[in-house]
Amino acid sequence: MLFNSFEFWIFFAVVVIGFYSLPYRAGKVLLLAASYFFYMWWNPRFIALILASTVADYFLGILLETAADKTRKPLLIVSLVVNLGFLGFFKYYNFFVSSLAALLGLPADSLALNIILPVGISFYTFGSLSYTIDVYRRKTTAIRNFIDYAFFIAFFPHLIAGPILRARQFLPQIQQWRAPSAATLNRGIALILTGLIKKMVFADRFAIVSDAYFNNIAAHRGWLAAWSGALAFAMQLYFDFSGYTDIARGCAKVFGFEFPINFERPYLAANVVQFWQRWHITLSSWVRDYLFLPLTRGTRSRIKVYFAIMLTMLLLGLWHGARWNFVIWGVYFGIFVVLYRVFQQKLTGSTFGRALEARAFHPLKVMITFLLLIAAAAFFRPRNLHDIGVVWSAYFDWQHAAGSSVLTTGTIALFFVSFVLAVLEERRGYLRRLALAPAYVQVPAFACVFLVLELFSVTEKIPFIYFQF
């Protein structure tokens, strides 16, 4: 049941009416049941998996809070084994055994199993782990109400593709729920409409172009075709994922809940570190708090810090998918994050370093960072290492014919429109102000949004990219 499908909005309307027709406690149970129904719409069998993870961590959280100190770490290990065991088997088993088979000279599928990847498993697993780890660290208390905990894990707007929720941020909202104000509802509706435009007008238009290139790379030779195809995918990836997040956040607001911001105009970042502070924020902050900081706690060795950065980025890449291209994608970003840290330490306080911080250099830094991000599409989008090599060689093959751009006039126009809108939002925050605007401003604005969706949206239902993770 896709956010950009008619059946989802019928489902959403029915659930909203039902929720507000009942007292909050009963409405909460209705929302939990609706969330399980939403998940089972894809494949009913895998509801057992999310229930098993939920039940295990609910009881483990209570035990972690009440157990003696000597047994708390083994209990945390049980939680890690259960959650990472499910994730590892369903998402990574075939990847590792096929790699092992290749090393042993066996057929790639000789050890593989016919495994279906449960949608959303990477997202709700990290949410559940954050709860048990925080209880272990005594940063949050164990919850005794099973419905509340199950609701935190399964609430349908974030269940499939995030944002990744933290228990200590979301559980208090469940326990102290208040009906949303008119301004909150307006903001929720604005986010939903913004997300639909991002997905159906921007992402899906860029998807047509990027698919045309990456599905038949051999037919599009030359560096211009490679860079334009990569640009199309980079734009598709951002609008697709941030569009999903906007819809999820908007739906949550309609029910009176607040999800964390997941994107802050990442393509306006002035360096790769700032990019990861703006892109998929709930994931990057998760790996920072639960992986990078524990690895570097108490160390003064720069080598150990750089190693921790590389390991964190490698695992962050692997989180996105069980293919070697995602491993390389993570290493690629790890290298540039380390290089940025090295140059930052060398240049801090120097004349050249102060000159680079001048406002005049900011557009140049944004442009260089954006080029690095476009180049990274050659690791993310192709399905095999051969295609990665072809695209990267085309990037820098300036001695032969440039080829032709795969971008259409429409997608070029969308690129510049999106750039202008991003700059305006960065400087003026016009979308946030729209939610607080009077009705005579909001009604025409929403009418224009519906008109844009009707006239310019792609009619084919293209799945959200991050559903596969």
Active site (catalytic) residues: 320
Residue 64 CA to residue 43 CA, distance in Å, equals 33
User: Measured at the alpha carbon of residue 160, what is the angle toward residues 156 and 166, in degrees to the nearest 5?
Assistant: 75
Question: Is residue 450 classed as helix, strand or coil in its secondary structure?
Answer: helix
Residue 469: both structure tokens together: 């993770």
DSSP codes joined into one string, 339-364: HHHHHHHHHTTSHHHHHHTSGGGHHH
Contact status, residue 238 vs residue 414, Cβ threshold 8 Å? no
DSSP codes joined into one string, 81-143: HHHHHHHIIIIIHHHHHHHHHHHTT--TTSS----PPPTTHHHHHHHHHHHHHHHHTTSSPPP
C-alpha closest to that of 272 among 348, 357, 365, 382? 365
Residue 191: both structure tokens together: 């986010």
Contact status, residue 277 vs residue 284, Cβ threshold 8 Å? yes
Residue 387: both structure tokens together: 């295609």
**Which phi and psi angles does 104 have, rounded to 5°?**
-85, 0
Rg, the chain, Cα only = 23
Residue 291 CA to residue 293 CA, distance in Å, equals 6
Contact status, residue 244 vs residue 469, Cβ threshold 8 Å? no
